[in-house]
Amino acid sequence: MQLINLEQTNNHYFLTIPQSLKQRAKKISPRQWDPQRSAWIYPRNELTYQSLLEEFESDIQDVHITSPENVNTTSAEDVKHKKSDALLKKFDDLKDENKILENKVVEVEQERDESLSLIQQLSSEVESLKQQSNESNLEQEIKDISKKCAGNNPNFNKIIDDLEFGPYLPIEITDHVVKCLSKKINLNNPNPSFFDLIKEGEESGVLDQETSDYLHTLRKQRNDFAHGGVDLKVRMSRVMFVITAASLAWSKLNCNPN
């Protein structure tokens, strides 16, 4: 019975040798002990092939192993390394793709935020235009009503058309009424106050009680607007109040152009 035996597979050589001769087997590297086969395993390559023949050819009657020419001698470890390298490369590629996607997400979010901001800005502008249009229509309606209250007096109509709706409108329209009243009341005082004019008109019989009430309303409202005592929430209502009082007072005074 042959004590030493050599066999081969596509990728390995297998050496069966008595335990007492294991040191001879260990002379050749790399190697690995396979307890299931009770054999030493060597990678099938040219160097191992030559080393095995040199060490054991004289001990074996018929050598059945062959040179590994034209045989893939890639070891399991090499395969593992290649697989590991391929996985690492794929992992790096996925990281790069993920980074690209993250950048695209950031760009899309920025575009979304810019679009939302633009939509909000345009919505605000549209609402502002609607409000301005509504206010403009309301202002014109107020002017038309005041003209009717004054009996469509051409002089008053011109004053109303020239006035702009703003914080000074109650002051300006009241000034026009004061000039009108000054022409009706003859006072020795060259610069009479609005109150003095009203009082003189009442005492001289030029003004009736209704007209006097309209004029006192104008006087009080003008003072509030002049001293900034009007709440913005009720400003439009106060303006309408002043215009109405002025138009009614004008209809009583029936003034000529200034």
Count other C-beta atoms under 10 Å from residue 68's C-beta.
Answer: 19
Look at the block and give the residue holding tokens 């391929």.
86
Angle at 107 between CA 101 and CA 112, to 5 degrees: 125
8 A C-beta contact, residue 159 and residue 256: no
Q: What is the pLDDT of residue 2?
A: 66
Closest CA to 232 of 155, 135, 143, 167: 167
Per the structure block, which two tokens stand in for 25? 């087997």
Domain boundaries of the chain, sorted by first residue? 5-71, 74-145, 150-253
Look at the block and give the residue holding tokens 């003008």.
222
Q: Could you give the C-alpha distances from 23 to 12, 40, 51, 153, 200, in angstroms and in order?
A: 20, 11, 14, 132, 141
What is the pLDDT tens value at each position of the chain, 258 positions in all?
Answer: 568 999 999 999 999 999 999 999 999 999 999 999 999 999 999 999 999 999 999 888 888 899 987 555 455 566 676 777 788 788 888 888 888 988 888 888 888 888 788 778 877 877 776 676 666 688 888 888 888 887 888 888 888 888 887 778 888 899 988 888 888 887 777 788 889 889 888 888 888 999 999 999 999 988 888 887 777 777 788 888 888 989 898 888 877 655
Phi-psi region of 32 (alpha: psi -120 to 50; beta: other; left: phi over 0): beta
CA distance linking residue 218 with residue 232, whole number of Å: 19
CA distance linking residue 107 with residue 15, whole number of Å: 64
Phi, psi dihedrals of residue 40, rounded to the nearest 5°: -90, 135
Closest CA to 12 of 32, 26, 38: 32
Q: What is the pLDDT of residue 110?
A: 87
The answer to whether the predicted template modeling score (pTM) of the entire model surpasses 0.95 is no
Secondary element (H or E) of residue 12? strand 12-16
